[in-house]
Amino acid sequence: MTAHFPLIEAAATPGARMLGSIDALARESAGMLDRPFQRGQYDRLDWLTLTAQHLWPDTPVAIAAARVGPHSLWLPLRDGGAGRARSLASWYTLAFGPIATPGCPEDVRATLLETIARQVGKRFGALALWPLEPEVCAEVQSAFRAQGWIVIARVETAHWVAHTAGLDFDAYWARRGSKLRNTVRRRAKSSPVETQIFDRFDADAWAAYETVYAGSWKPNEGSPAFVRAFAEQEGAAGTLRLGIARRDGQPVAAQFWTVENRVATIHKLAHLESERANSPGTLLSHAMFRQVLDHDRPDLIDYGNGDEGYKAEWMDERRVRHRLRMFNPYCLSGLAAGASIAAKALLRRVAR
């Protein structure tokens, strides 16, 4: 194993420290957070770099790092001041958690996570982590509780997926409800659209995406620069799937997907509010699902976080994402943050 990580020195006993920049993380990880080694999109250095640069440019990062033998684990945080920290994530992040070097055994990962919990407690008294998959939530709770932290967990949002291993589009479509299939059939006849799907970044197509988004029901984009930079990055990697639907030459719906490691992820979608009655987004989804299922053949389609009603029509399983609030009772900032949460909970009960 050590030969795979030439720049990561082996440590005989677990050790930890805080890294104060993405550059420091890049140096320490020695390429192990790059695309070839991290299957998870949100576990990669390039994702963390874009998040820090575009979403939290004025917020210090604090990356807890632990190592034993050839194995390392990192917990990327942003320093909120006053002894409080949050996950280095944003509303674009669909899953967050500790990031390990490839091949790290479960028992070693657990040891390193407890080491990180001790290290984090030397600097922060309150920690908020989101969005966590259930198994990640469980391992983080276990590690921090073992180090004396008080942990409050709650389900924060839904997360929808479709299981598509071995399915082409026709087989997938046959499993959808009659309401969705009838809507597509009717709209395709009464309000047809022309669709294009790009697997490389295209400036004109991206301009169409931004036009649709600006005229949609969606709130203002939090960081258009982040979304474009991510699309450019994935276009260069060959994982981008950017769909544009046009009526009479004008863009009316747009979707931004990525496909990688047999997982297709729907990151962004929008249609013009003025076109709502014509369902251009539904017609574009039909085209996107057909293209991805017949050509990319993913095992899973991920519709992201959120419990919007339309997702259930396209997906098979409703999962959840958790939020963790953790307090270190051995420091004033942890006690203060924990007392504030307890007081708010008490007031809510009284108000009922």
Do 174 and 278 fall within a single domain? yes
Is the model more confident about 338 or about 85? 85
Do 279 and 246 fall within a single domain? yes
pTM of the predicted protein model: 0.90
Do 130 and 202 fall within a single domain? no
Residue 219, pLDDT score: 85
Asked if residue 309 is part of any domain, the answer here is: no
Query: pLDDT tens-digit profile of 41-85?
Result: 999 999 999 999 999 999 999 999 999 999 999 999 999 999 999
Do 141 and 170 fall within a single domain? no
Residue 4, pLDDT score: 40
Confidence label for 344 from pLDDT (cuts 50, 70 and 90):
low
Percent of the chain with pLDDT over 90: 87
Do 58 and 153 fall within a single domain? yes
Is 9's pLDDT higher than 70? no
Query: pLDDT tens-digit profile of 133-150?
Result: 999 999 999 999 999 999
The mean pLDDT value for 117-122 works out to 95
Is 6's pLDDT higher than 80? no
Residue located via tokens 């280095």: 88
Residue 233, pLDDT score: 98
Is 19's pLDDT higher than 70? yes
Residue 217, pLDDT score: 87
The mean pLDDT value for 95-114 works out to 97
Do 118 and 139 fall within a single domain? yes
Residue of 177, 232, 223 lying closest to 203 (CA atoms): 232
Asked if residue 314 is part of any domain, the answer here is: no
- Residue 197 sits in which domain range? 165-298
Query: pLDDT tens-digit profile of 27-44?
Result: 999 999 999 999 999 999
Residue 335, pLDDT score: 63
